[in-house]
Amino acid sequence: MREIPGRRRVTRWARRTTALTCATEWRWPVVPGAELRESWRPGRAAGRLCSCPRADCSVPGLHPWEPGLLAATTDARMVRWWWTQRPGAPVLLATGGRAPCALSLPADAGLRALAECDRLNLRTGPVIATPTRVALLVRPYDLAELGELLYAQDWVPGSLRFHGEGGYVPLPASQTVAGPVRWERPPSGAVPYLPDTKPLLDVLVEAGVAALRPGTY
């Protein structure tokens, strides 16, 4: 059985393996992100900072940086070179276009949404989890299609994020300040199945709304 990247012990080249699998087998464009670096200052506890030059970086170790997102590619030679030079760089999937898009919620709401999808027999595709959020990969959508879907909703919680054209999500084997990125539901098949957004949106919206109700969790 072929090993799913991100479901094994993280070695020096684990991120390169993930990037190459996504780029060459699944044709998902990837780009390396800024890395986390250990820091220490006199009188302060050791911590982890972003390798980018922004002292106030709000997403340390979790955003594109040299190269930018527009450099995302499926070219095996470029991908191999990037992660040979920077084996610790997170793997970022550039969403939209012909690549998967994603819908994400805070972790508790996202897990509740997955349980509800199972109850309703709604098939999900690959699901990415960090200690703080859960992201469902879906078929590519454009802004017009997304706009129509959202217009049909009474209200959409701000905690539900949409990762489409010009966006990105981290892939497993990457590392965030809060902890590792992993597959909550790993890809299956030679070409991973991706569901449409429409049948999942009601469930995700309701899970996001429910998380705001007192006593729900």
Domain segments of the chain as ranges: 14-210
Query: Using 50, 70 and 90 to split pLDDT, how confident is the model at 178?
Result: confident
- Amino acid present at 8: R
pLDDT at 4 over 50: yes
Read off the tokens for 179: 């902890």
Query: Using 50, 70 and 90 to split pLDDT, how confident is the model at 215?
Result: low
User: What per-residue confidence (pLDDT) applies to 43?
Assistant: 47
Q: What is the DSSP letter of 153?
A: S
- Give per-residue pLDDT as tens, 17-59: 999 999 999 999 999 999 988 765 554 445 678 989 888 888 8
Q: What is the dihedral of CA 205, 208, 214, 217, to 10 degrees?
A: 120
d(CA 59, CA 172): 17
CA 196 to chain centre: 17
Q: Which residue has the higher pLDDT, 41 or 211?
A: 211
